[in-house]
């Protein structure tokens, strides 16, 4: 099945553009997969000057294709760094450690594809929503990563620490996939419940 275009974001129920102010990053969803286990998720990533991914990471089961549309992209793949310019493409195989950042003074715009999509859309909406609402603590991050480990994982010593923190976070009642961020509500709704249950 081919991806369906949904620029309004789930028939207008969710925004097609989400913001991560901590990383100076925004994502614009271009198409949503009809069959997430097979079809890709396509989206634009915008990094303002100084913006970057949070930490080096891997996608254990997804192939990633990134095409630079505007600006300069710094990219580290398996420990090797280089600069990509408009029109250039980097392919990231599943399990390959990588990190991207804005290496220039103007906005960096990339066209990105994750194949298969899996739960990447939900993961991005949850992370960006929690950050935008000021709720992304270390334990909350660990809970999210534990829930979405099929999408994204830390590498090196961070991987081990966050595995332990994920156990602690879940024991304390942190929710790793608060549905208000992807189930039909506004990403930044002030009425959204806290991802932790009330004490």
Question: Could you report the per-residue pLDDT of 64-108, keeping only the tens digit for each?
Answer: 999 999 999 999 999 999 999 999 999 999 999 999 999 999 999
Q: What is the model's pLDDT at position 166? A: 96
Q: Above pLDDT 90, what percent of the chain?
A: 77
Q: In the structure, what pLDDT confidence band is assigned to residue 195 with cuts at 50, 70 and 90?
A: low
Instruction: Kindly state the average pLDDT of the residues 155-174.
Output: 95
Q: What is the model's pLDDT at position 127? A: 96
- CATH class assigned to 4-115: mainly beta
Q: In the structure, what pLDDT confidence band is assigned to residue 31 with cuts at 50, 70 and 90?
A: confident
Q: What is the model's pLDDT at position 171? A: 96
Mean pLDDT in the chain?
87
Secondary structure of the chain in the HEC alphabet? Answer: CCCEECCCCCCCCCCCEEEEHHHCEEEEEEEECCCCCCCCEEEEEEECCCCECCCCEECCCCEEEEEEEECCEEEEECCEEEEECCCCEEEECCCCCEEEEECCCCCEEEEEEEECCCCHHHHHHHHHHHHHCCCCCHHHHHHHHHHCCCCCEECCHHHHHHHHHHHHHHHCCCCCCCHHHCCCCCCCCCCCCCCCCCC
Neighbours of 65 (CB within 10 A): 16
Q: What is the model's pLDDT at position 32? A: 85
Domain with CATH 2.60.120.10 in the chain: 4-115
Residue 138: HSE in the Cβ half-sphere, 13 Å Cα cutoff? 7
Q: What is the model's pLDDT at position 13? A: 67
- Between 65 and 2, the more confident residue is 65
Instruction: Kindly state the average pLDDT of the residues 177-185.
Output: 78
Q: In the structure, what pLDDT confidence band is assigned to residue 188 with cuts at 50, 70 and 90?
A: very low
Q: In the structure, what pLDDT confidence band is assigned to residue 182 with cuts at 50, 70 and 90?
A: confident
Question: Could you report the per-residue pLDDT of 120-139, keeping only the tens digit for each?
Answer: 999 999 999 999 999 999 99
């Amino acid at each position: 099945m081919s991806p369906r275009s949904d620029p309004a974001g789930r028939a207008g129920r969710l925004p097609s553009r989400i913001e991560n102010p901590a990383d100076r990053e925004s994502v614009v969803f271009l198409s949503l997969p009809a069959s997430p286990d097979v079809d890709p998720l396509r989206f634009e990533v915008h990094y303002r000057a100084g913006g970057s991914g949070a930490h080096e990471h891997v996608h254990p089961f997804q192939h990633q294709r990134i095409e630079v549309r505007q600006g300069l992209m710094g990219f580290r793949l398996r420990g090797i760094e280089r600069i990509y310019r408009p029109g250039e493409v980097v392919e990231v195989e599943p399990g390959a450690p990588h990190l991207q950042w804005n290496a220039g003074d103007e906005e960096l715009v990339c066209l990105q594809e994750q194949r298969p999509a899996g739960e990447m859309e939900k993961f991005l909406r949850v992370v960006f929503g929690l950050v935008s609402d000021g709720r992304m603590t270390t334990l909350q991050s660990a809970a999210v990563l534990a829930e979405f480990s099929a999408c994204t994982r830390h590498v090196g010593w961070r991987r081990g620490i966050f595995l332990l923190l994920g156990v602690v976070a879940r024991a304390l009642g942190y929710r790793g996939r608060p549905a208000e961020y992807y189930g039909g509500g506004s990403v930044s709704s002030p009425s959204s419940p806290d991802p932790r249950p009330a004490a």
